[in-house]
Structure 1
C-alpha cells in the first residue's frame, strides 16, 4: 500500500507542477496577446479555467496525502486517546463517503452527460475534462483508506500535527 501511495504522491506532484507551468504560460500568452498584440487569444481563457480546476483538484488530493487539510481539532485533542482515534476514523470515513458520492459518482455522471458538449474556444469536448473529478475522487478515497488503516494500526497519530514547531 505504501508503494501505491508513493506512486500517487509522485504522480500528483509532477501533475501539479506541469499543470501550473502550463497555466502560467497560458495566462502570460493571454495577457501578451491582449495587451501587446491587441488581438486577444480566444482559447486561453477557457484553457486557463480548466487548468485551474484540474490543478485545484489534483492539489487537494496531494494535500490529502499528507493529511494537511484544515482541521478544527482543538476540542478533539481534549478527548481521551480512544475517542480521538474513533473521531479520526469517522472523519476519514466521511471523506470516503463524500469522495465516492460527489467526486466519483457525481463526477462520472457529469462527465457522461457532457461527453459530447463542444467547447467554443478549444477543440475538445467538455466530458473528458470533467473526468478529473472521478480520478481525484478515487485517489482521495485511497488516501483516506490508507490513513484510516494507519490510525487503526497506530502507525499515525489520530490527529495529525501539521503545524510547524515554533522555537
Structure 2
C-alpha cells in the first residue's frame, strides 16, 4: 500500500510541477509580449490562473498525506504521547469531513459555472473551455485529500523530523 501511496503522491506532485511550469512560462510570455512587443496576449493570465489553481489542488492532498501542511500543534504536543495517538487521527477525520463538505458544495457550483466560459482559453484553443473546468479542481482536490487522509489514518505515516533528516543528510555527505 505504501508503494501505491508514494506513486500517487509523486504523480500528483509531478503534474502539479508541470502545471506550475506552464503557468510561469505563460506569464513570461505575457510580460515579453506586453512590454517588448506592445501586444499583450488575451489568454496567458487565464492559463496561468488555471494551471496555478489545479497545481495547488493537486499538491494539497500530498501535503495531507505526508503531514506537511500547516498546523498549530502546540496543544497536541503538550498532550501525553498516548493521547496524541488518539487526537491526531481525530483531527485527520475532522479535516476529511470538512474537505468532503467543501467538495460536495463545490460540485454543486459546477452546473452554474458550466454556463460560462474562460474566454481567453477559448480563444487560445479555438474551442469552448467552460469555467467549470477550472472549478472542477476544488472537488477533485478535496476528494483526493479525503482519500489520502483516510489512508493515512488506516496506515499511519510518521511526521517528518527535520532534525533527523538533517543529521542523516550530513552523515551521507561525509
TM over 0.5: yes
Contact 1:111/1:129 (8 A) holds in 2: no
Partner of residue 127 from structure 1, selected from 112, 125, 132: 132
Q: Please, what is the CA RMSD of the aligned residues?
A: 1.8
In the TM superposition, what is the alpha-carbon distance from 1:81 to its structure 2 partner? Answer: 2.3
Equivalence map 1:13-162=2 (5 Å): 13-102=13-102, 104-123=103-122, 124-151=129-156, 156-157=157-158, 160-162=159-161
Structure 2 stretches of 5 or more lacking a match?
A: 123-128, 168-174
Which structure features the higher share of helix residues? Answer: 2
Moved over 2 A (4+): 1-4, 160-167
The answer to which of 122-131 and 24-33 deviates more is 122-131
Q: Measure, in 1, the Cα distance between the counterparts of 2:97 and 2:44.
A: 35
Q: Measure, in 2, the Cα distance between the counterparts of 1:129 and 1:71.
A: 27
Q: Secondary structure at the match of 1:72?
A: coil
Distance of aligned partners of 1:3 and 1:163 in 2 relative to their CA distance in 1, 3 Å threshold:
closer
Q: Secondary structure at the match of 1:69?
A: coil
Q: Measure, in 1, the Cα distance between the counterparts of 2:6 and 2:43.
A: 35
Q: Measure, in 1, the Cα distance between the counterparts of 2:70 and 2:13.
A: 20
When normalised by structure 1's length, the TM-score is 0.86
Distance of aligned partners of 1:31 and 1:126 in 2 relative to their CA distance in 1, 3 Å threshold:
same
* Count, aligned residues: 160
In the TM superposition, what is the alpha-carbon distance from 1:82 to its structure 2 partner? Answer: 2.6
Structure 1 stretches of 5 or more lacking a match?
A: none
Q: State yes or no: 1:7 paired with 2:1.
A: no
Q: Measure, in 1, the Cα distance between the counterparts of 2:163 and 2:148.
A: 22
When normalised by structure 2's length, the TM-score is 0.83
Contact 1:12/1:59 (8 A) holds in 2: yes
